Amino acid sequence: MILGIECTAHTFGIGISNKRKILANIRDMYVPESGGIIPMDSAAHHKKVADKIYHEALEKAKIKESEIKAIALSNAPGLAPCLREGLEFAKSLASSLSVKIIPVNHCIAHLEISRSVGAKDPVLLYASGANTQIIAYASKKYRVFGETLDLGIGNFIDKVARHMGIGFPGGPKIEQHALKGKYIELPYSIKGMDVSFSGMQTKIQQLYDKGESIENLSFSLQETAFAMLVEAAERALAHTEKKELVLGGGVACNSRFQEMCRIMCAERIEKTKFFCPEKSLLVDNAAMIAFTGELMFSVDKSLLVDADKVDILPRERTDDVNVTWR
């Protein structure tokens, strides 16, 4: 029985996994009153909700504290104040339960959770607020084959949405507006397997200021930004010769994005399977941390460490981690 803690950014969550089954996945998200995330406020949010979320998770999983054998903690990468709050909570829990901690890289957890829906060796298109990467396993590491050169796709969408006055988080609202929009050309920026969004952001904001409709801009944003990512993901599939694509991250909740990925996989000559976990496992969540921790620990016992030896690694990259559990 592994208890997972997610704390890297806006979400505080507790997940419980046993024999690769998710028994609980409780979360609470910090939403800024206006503008973007303020790291200290998000950390204060985590501190405030932690106990409540923890007890809700135990109740949901119908387990006793004594059944928890280890704590998996998303100690990297993320906002330092948020990570620190998560670490504090994990340490005090580890001490009261007399268990050790498995540090888990948040981005890798987005990939590993795809095993819960049947993927074995996928390319992950990870599209979240702060992160946008194309990740796959190659010689002992999860390597980044492509990524955004400026802002994460979710942050890009949220910034544009804020400019157009439709609030935070922007993604779900942009998706609704897009249903009624028509295509207008926007900057399509992809270099190899890397993408960039700042040019498109500027262009959309200029067009909006000149009176272009939110519907048309939303539709065109989706068609352009998602096509860039799908193109990069296809290139990564061709390059790595992998036969599975997985979507992860909050932006992966978008139906049109999922559809474009599904079409690309179906049209490839090399048969490619497409996987998309359910929504509660796509957004930042602690079930994926518990699940990944359990997977890591089941293969490599040395990944379990004493609580006082665990630290936060706000800038740890996906390919910094030695993948010893495969």
Q: Residue numbers of the site for ligand AMP (CB under 6 A)?
A: 128-129, 154, 157-158, 169-172, 175, 249-251, 253-254, 283-284
C-alpha–C-alpha distance, residues 322 and 140, integer Å: 6
Task: Give kind and range of the element (H or E) at residue 71.
Answer: strand 70-76
Q: Return the number of the residue (175 or 223) whose C-beta is nearest ligand AMP.
A: 175
| One-letter amino acid of 39 | P
Smallest distance, ligand AMP to C-beta of residue 249, A: 4
**Interface segment toward Mg ion; rule CB under 5 A; list 29-37, 127-135, 224-232, 273-281:** 127-135
Please state the φ and ψ torsions of residue 187, each to the nearest 5 degrees: -60, 125
Q: Is 128 in the site for Mg ion (CB under 5 A)?
A: yes
DSSP code for 314: T
Nearer to ligand AMP, 39 or 249 (CB): 249
**Among 215, 212, 221, 213, which Cα is nearest to 251's?**
221
Residue 293 binding partner per list ligand AMP, Mg ion, none, with a CB distance cut-off of 5 to 8 Å that depends on partner kind: none
Q: Which is nearer to Mg ion, 244 or 284 (CB)?
A: 284
The nearer residue to Mg ion, 284 or 316, going by C-beta atoms, is: 284
CA distances from 67 to 1, 38, 52, 88, 191 (A): 6, 36, 19, 21, 50
Q: How far is the CB of 117 from ligand AMP (least distance, A)?
A: 17
Q: Is 112 in the site for Mg ion (CB under 5 A)?
A: no
Distance (Å, rounded) from C-alpha 142 to C-alpha 130?
Answer: 19
- The distance of closest approach from Cβ of residue 213 to Mg ion in the complex, given in angstroms and rounded to an integer, is 31
What are the distances in angstroms from CA 172 to CA 30, 128, 157, 201, 254?
A: 17, 13, 10, 17, 7
* Least CB distance to ligand AMP at residue 116 (A): 17
27 vs 177 by CB, closer to Mg ion = 27
Strand partners, 143: 136
Q: Does 284 bind Mg ion (CB under 5 A)?
A: yes
* Least gap, CB of 157 to ligand AMP (angstroms): 5
The contact set with Mg ion (CB under 5 A) reads: 128, 284
